[in-house]
Structure 1
């Protein structure tokens, strides 16, 4: 299916990512680039509030709860804006300036020209890369976690409930049901409900919008906050961001970690808020009070996108706080007296708090599920360090050009005494990646457990600091080219604006030319295609023919048709539900089943002789069964943990209704369900 037919879904996804946040930011008093750069972050909170409040108001999941959540968010941010305005009036003479600014507020709602140009160019290029790499809009990443996310979208649609419990129940049918972040699935289900997209298309559309909308507006806001909103910095920085495979392309392929990518795309905006609060940057119209309030409000959206992104913010904020404290001590020390000793006391207080609370955090029962899952190290420390510097993993090629720019940008930051905190933050992320990828000791576990010790999640975070550092190097390159262009134009003088555009064009052209590939840079393209079009047939979970067969033969006949479908999830049967709209008994390849589902795993093929199996079939409303003799990753021992779902052709009470290739679909006619 072509992407053109899903333009309504793309438009709706873009509106969901931007509009609630723009409305909330506007009433909070945000203007210009800050308004647009913080919009995806605030939109996550608006939609999350809709997920929270909808069931309490008796609203089925749809656009109505989103509207309610957005209105509540606007009420909260309006209070933030009113408080900031009142504080400005109390400060005296500035009040007149505030009134003048508000009289022209309609213009201040537009982004700066440099920021808008950079965002549009970056978004267009990243959209082209992502769409080209995904291919067919209804295709799917052939990996384990895609099954859960696609079925979760379908489950939200079927139940009209986007709560964390509903999403988690896709894979966990026991009680109590653990929390699972629902925001990606809630947004995907809206595309299905409103535009009629399939879960497959909805997930891909959201992946494109995350890459081409949420990420560019956020990371370019951070770049502009650090280096100024200059087109000669923002435009090349956007082009550099588009070529980094580690984010967002890696998380749109590996796993697949769609919820993480949704939250992480907005994290650069949180970094801006933290930097403003700590006094590391200044953003017009975004004082410390407003930044603090908006940061607290945004925590809801980040947690509902994925809790791991909240931990990512903490990991970024710690070195930023250390840089701010160091800056405070260095400024206070020459003054002596109370300022000197007060700053030292503050450092001691922070260090004492960390030492006191850190053991409790490590032992907190909340993190027990995270600690129980550990990705083992696969690299030496030296190899891991090399990958972190090269901004690469085994799933994503090295971005040598951008990596070199990051190193140059870090050197320039240290030399110019501006943005040193960004260098420290990037170094911290490099250290965390090295620990996750190259060490299995206790320190590595303690520091990286918040991301399951998963090097890929940590590699994605590197892009947040890499883009602004590369931007500084690109800005320096522009300045050097501009000087050279002015020198060469002395014989035939050119207007200054034209000289600047020539210099900027040369920098951008050089960046694109030195990046392998044309509109589909080598690193991002192969990173995504590895997942969507694997080289081995054993890595294919659901091919287009199976997807079409399930959609044609298993589609519900009406609202009263609530029969479910059962099959071994490791042969693609788990996706019969997402393909057809019929709920699967096993919504993931790895599940925590209740007693009935555990019984079907073991003895479903005995339904013609075991009354207990028939009782479970009736309780679960099983009306169809599927079997595929081709398995996903057949070497995995978990493919053999469903002995009751093999050899179904021999079972009385199952009537074949369709067969194509290695797939057979049966109607359950036994157990009194004929």
Structure 2
């Protein structure tokens, strides 16, 4: 399917990802930018929670129960608002005065803007979103190649088959998704898979096409909206920082692009896209945002998105706790200063001190408990500490090219965050995230290193992907200081006077307004263009190589894909198919929507599965095979060439005698790929 004709699928995917949450949050009275930003994470919670609850309710997972849950929550929010309003308590939004005010606090409070200012700010919000949305969508399309292409990587065997498993069984619970077999059922964060399954079933597209659509929505829609929301909590929604957010959101190679390259780490893609919203709500909850918001609505929004973050990937809940430490300490310092000035009560100070004293050790306990085992955390450092710091400042971690524009913005942001002492917590968050990356990528293996980064398997790729969440605000601060300085120099006025004349003073001349505005807009445009050179371009080239198919593709070749596409015409629904997962032959669930005996390379196996995985070609000859065949309903078997996804060698005897096996019948072939029917055990299932 060409990308042009794929646009309706993208639009439907956007509705699925944002629609349920948008409905609920609007019912709760949220509007403006907060409404758009929080909708996606809220939908993640709804979809993943419904997937967990559906088996207990005896219903299959799909768009209907998700929509029903969203409607129930919306009605509940409306009733709650009505009840509270009858008691004189405003839970949701006040009558809106301007779009900017809604972007600032979601409640419509603040000064009334002139119509011209209102339209300028509306346009700035739209532009700030559109710039990264278009850039990221185009780059993702170029990386993927065609909507139906798949990442030819090890982890994608699980991701493809997990979505197929949900579509086949109607069960997408994170509690049991595990390694996709009964014997290895266990917890696995399935929020990403649940949403992609909704896209596939609702849009009637293949699993690979649903993945392409869903990932583009996460990266090009949820990510920019989330970062715009986070920046609005730092800058009070001013125009220039919002435009800079749009200019820079697509300029980091490590997110979102790296997540569809390395691994692939699709669940991490979703979790990190939620992180900016979680941090923005934390800022509001602690009252660090100059534009105040009501605590109860913010708390309710936080409660609604936190489960979704956990079921997208729980390691980033741990990361959220760590990044919240500078925010908590900043609030404590401000309360202490306020107490000395008589602006805060002793009760407030003592209460928050106790909260901080409890939270800090709690973070360490959770951090330790969430750490993965050493056996599964074998990632080793690959560079020196100074190189790691250089990669952070150059926005080119994991050996990508340094971006000169991002380097200048980040260095300027370091200076600006220190100079603007009220925003030093922005530097604190960046320091924590950068420190974790430096530890994982540069420090030798030790107990301390494993404690700090074992939550992420000591994998610097995962930590590199989190960097843009906290580096982008720093870069925006740097870009703002540079451009405002340039505008002031261009008009030979002080920065404060320029900003005042641009936005407020009625006596300013047209030239006074136009000249600095032109400098600022030109600067934003130059930054947006410059940020696309260097690391991002290299990452696009590296990532695109994983999505190209051919006769010798690492996971599924052109011939093998053609055979898998035809497989449903031979294999009845409900039948199981044997295939060696190392060669991609087990991808019958993800690419053909037919059950696989081994849908993932790893995992516990039942005795019957072990028999099939070692001697299915002995059906009708070896007496131990047919009982296993009948119990698992293995009606067909695939054989691909011996090329393995990681280039390794795992000899398999399951189909080594397929050509001469009396219990197998060749039914289809394409090149070296062949599909056999298991005939040696008599009639099976409904064949």
Is 1:253 the counterpart of 2:253 in the alignment? no
Cα distance in 2 for partners of 1:401, 1:652 equals 66
Residues 100-249 of structure 1 mapped to structure 2, 5 A cutoff: 112-165=122-175, 167-170=177-180, 172-174=181-183, 177-249=185-257
Match among 544, 565, 573 for residue 551 of structure 1: 565
CA contact (8 A) 2:22 2:39 kept: yes
Residues 8-157 of structure 1 mapped to structure 2, 5 A cutoff: 8-75=8-75, 77-78=77-78, 81=81, 89=88, 98=94, 112-157=122-167
Match among 633, 643, 649 for residue 621 of structure 1: 633
CA contact (8 A) 2:197 2:210 kept: yes
Do the aligned partners of residues 200 and 213 (structure 1) sit closer, same or farther apart at CA in structure 2, a change above 3 Å counting?
same
Q: Deviations for 1:175-200, whole angstroms, at most 9, x for unmatched residues?
A: 6x211122222222222222221111
Match of 1:672 in 2: 682
**Structure 2 counterpart SS, 1:570:** helix
Query: How far 1:41 moved relative to its partner?
Result: 1.6
Q: Which runs of 5 or more structure 2 residues have no equivalent in the other structure?
A: 109-117, 499-508
Deviates more, 1:522-531 or 1:401-410: 522-531
Cα distance in 2 for partners of 1:358, 1:229 equals 31
Residues 288-303 of structure 1 mapped to structure 2, 5 A cutoff: 288-303=295-310
**Structure 2 counterpart SS, 1:626:** strand
Query: How far 1:136 moved relative to its partner?
Result: 0.8
**Structure 2 counterpart SS, 1:245:** coil
Residues 387-406 of structure 1 mapped to structure 2, 5 A cutoff: 387-394=391-398, 396-406=400-410
Do the aligned partners of residues 82 and 315 (structure 1) sit closer, same or farther apart at CA in structure 2, a change above 3 Å counting?
farther
Match of 1:418 in 2: 422
Match of 2:463 in 1: 458
Cα distance in 2 for partners of 1:282, 1:75 equals 32
CA contact (8 A) 2:60 2:170 kept: yes
CA contact (8 A) 1:243 1:523 kept: no
Query: How far 1:123 moved relative to its partner?
Result: 1.0
Do the aligned partners of residues 664 and 438 (structure 1) sit closer, same or farther apart at CA in structure 2, a change above 3 Å counting?
same
Cα distance in 1 for partners of 2:592, 2:354 equals 60
Q: Deviations for 1:496-528, whole angstroms, at most 9, x for unmatched residues?
A: 55435522332133224434559x951441242
Query: How far 1:599 moved relative to its partner?
Result: 2.1
Is 1:575 the counterpart of 2:587 in the alignment? yes
CA contact (8 A) 1:219 1:464 kept: yes
Do the aligned partners of residues 403 and 590 (structure 1) sit closer, same or farther apart at CA in structure 2, a change above 3 Å counting?
farther
Q: Report the TM-score, using the length of structure 2 for normalisation.
A: 0.86
**Structure 2 counterpart SS, 1:242:** coil
CA contact (8 A) 1:245 1:397 kept: no
Query: How far 1:228 moved relative to its partner?
Result: 3.0
CA contact (8 A) 1:316 1:425 kept: yes
Match of 1:526 in 2: 541
Match among 423, 431, 434 for residue 430 of structure 1: 434
Residues 282-361 of structure 1 mapped to structure 2, 5 A cutoff: 282-283=290-291, 286-333=293-340, 339=346, 343=349, 347=353, 350-351=356-357, 354-355=360-361, 357=362, 361=366
Match among 248, 267, 272 for residue 264 of structure 1: 272
Match among 629, 636, 643 for residue 631 of structure 1: 643
Cα distance in 2 for partners of 1:50, 1:289 equals 25
Query: How far 1:269 moved relative to its partner?
Result: 0.7
Query: How far 1:70 moved relative to its partner?
Result: 1.0
Do the aligned partners of residues 607 and 238 (structure 1) sit closer, same or farther apart at CA in structure 2, a change above 3 Å counting?
same
Query: How far 1:671 moved relative to its partner?
Result: 1.5
Do the aligned partners of residues 486 and 82 (structure 1) sit closer, same or farther apart at CA in structure 2, a change above 3 Å counting?
farther
CA contact (8 A) 1:605 1:644 kept: yes
**Structure 1 counterpart SS, 2:669:** strand
Do the aligned partners of residues 112 and 316 (structure 1) sit closer, same or farther apart at CA in structure 2, a change above 3 Å counting?
farther
Cα distance in 1 for partners of 2:53, 2:277 equals 25
Q: Report the TM-score, using the length of structure 1 for normalisation.
A: 0.88
Cα distance in 2 for partners of 1:395, 1:668 equals 49
CA contact (8 A) 1:25 1:39 kept: yes
Match of 2:413 in 1: 409
Q: Deviations for 1:554-589, whole angstroms, at most 9, x for unmatched residues?
A: 11569x632221111111202233222212111122
Query: How far 1:80 moved relative to its partner?
Result: 6.6
Q: Deviations for 1:250-306, whole angstroms, at most 9, x for unmatched residues?
A: 11221111112112101101101101111211446x322221221122112112222
Match of 2:503 in 1: none
**Structure 2 counterpart SS, 1:243:** coil
Match of 1:477 in 2: 482
Match of 2:599 in 1: 587
Cα distance in 2 for partners of 1:226, 1:421 equals 10
Residues 377-388 of structure 1 mapped to structure 2, 5 A cutoff: 377-379=380-382, 380-388=384-392
Cα distance in 2 for partners of 1:363, 1:521 equals 34
Cα distance in 2 for partners of 1:302, 1:322 equals 24
Cα distance in 1 for partners of 2:207, 2:53 equals 24
Cα distance in 1 for partners of 2:628, 2:524 equals 63
Query: How far 1:413 moved relative to its partner?
Result: 1.4
Is 1:505 the counterpart of 2:521 in the alignment? yes
**Structure 2 counterpart SS, 1:167:** coil
Do the aligned partners of residues 371 and 270 (structure 1) sit closer, same or farther apart at CA in structure 2, a change above 3 Å counting?
farther
Do the aligned partners of residues 571 and 348 (structure 1) sit closer, same or farther apart at CA in structure 2, a change above 3 Å counting?
same
Equivalent residue pairs, number: 653
Do the aligned partners of residues 410 and 517 (structure 1) sit closer, same or farther apart at CA in structure 2, a change above 3 Å counting?
closer
Do the aligned partners of residues 359 and 267 (structure 1) sit closer, same or farther apart at CA in structure 2, a change above 3 Å counting?
closer
Query: How far 1:141 moved relative to its partner?
Result: 0.8
Do the aligned partners of residues 193 and 30 (structure 1) sit closer, same or farther apart at CA in structure 2, a change above 3 Å counting?
same
Query: How far 1:353 moved relative to its partner?
Result: 6.0
Do the aligned partners of residues 359 and 501 (structure 1) sit closer, same or farther apart at CA in structure 2, a change above 3 Å counting?
closer
